[in-house]
Amino acid sequence: MTEKEFIAKIQQLKEIKPSQDWVVLTKNQILGEAFQKNFSWHWHIFPRFFFLKPVRVSASIFAALVFFGAFGFAQNSLPGDFLFSVKRAGENGQMAFVSDENKLNAQLELANKRLEELNRIAKANQPKKIATAIKEFKASTAKAVENLDKVNLEENPQLAKDIVAQIQRIETGKKEMATLGVVIGDDEELNSIDIIDIKMTKELVTRVINDLGKSTLTDNQQEILKVAKENFEKGDYSAALIDIWKMTQK
């Protein structure tokens, strides 16, 4: 056996991993102490009231306490876990406070989170959860598409940049999943991310063509811009973008 082969054998020990359940439980035990301490002051107040007169905690308050207690522990749950629905409910609740304009970006952030969870599930070798995790990811991207029209990218170029970054993260994440043997969606079907991508490209090309129309261009550049506009009219935004890139090379 060569040294290289021997090192490769040693590196197979990278497969040694703790059980995911233990990882989550331990984290909650360690960090959950802080969570419990943050709420311990409440108990100084409640007992006084309990002694003054009988207090019946209503079912709705009790349910709220249980929910918020569970919410803390649900943060590390994965699709397929018992507490995942609590986590998702919490995320939906938070989304209600996001402005319409920022909803697309926020939904894409959640989609990335779902993809990270899918990655963890695949690496932890939990095949039973993979289908659920893929379903959750697709649902999150579909929700992002619903918010596509609420964004005015022309007035908010930074937001456009953030959204493009999110899409790139998703595409990178999907490629990584493919290397782990997890394929998300049919290659031929136009998925939600493609829809967002097309819209983003269209917005970007519109803005660039408008800006270039106001600039001084050489004859050659004007020719290329004409072709770019034709491709844009045909709906081939990627081709239009490539034409614009060619212009910058001249």
Chain residues binding other proteins by CB under 8 A are 1, 3, 6-7, 9-19, 22-23, 26-27, 29-31, 34-35, 38, 124-125
Please say which residue, 13 or 52, places its beta carbon nearer to other proteins. Answer: 13
Minimum distance from residue 64 beta carbon to other proteins (Å): 20
Nearer to other proteins, 34 or 45 (CB): 34
Q: Side chain identity at 135, as an amino acid letter?
A: K
Give burial (CB, 10 Å; 0-12/13-18/19+) of 24. middle
Nearer to other proteins, 130 or 200 (CB): 130
Minimum CB distance to other proteins smaller for 36 or for 222:
36
Task: Give the tokens for residue 131.
Answer: 């289908």
How far apart are CB 1 and other proteins at their closest, in Å?
A: 8
CA distance 185 to 174: 10
Least distance to other proteins, CB of residue 92, Å = 20
Instruction: Work out how close the CB of 27 gets to other proteins at its nearest, in angstroms, rounded to a whole number.
Output: 6
Residue 76 C-beta: closest distance to other proteins, Å:
8
Nearer to other proteins, 89 or 124 (CB): 124
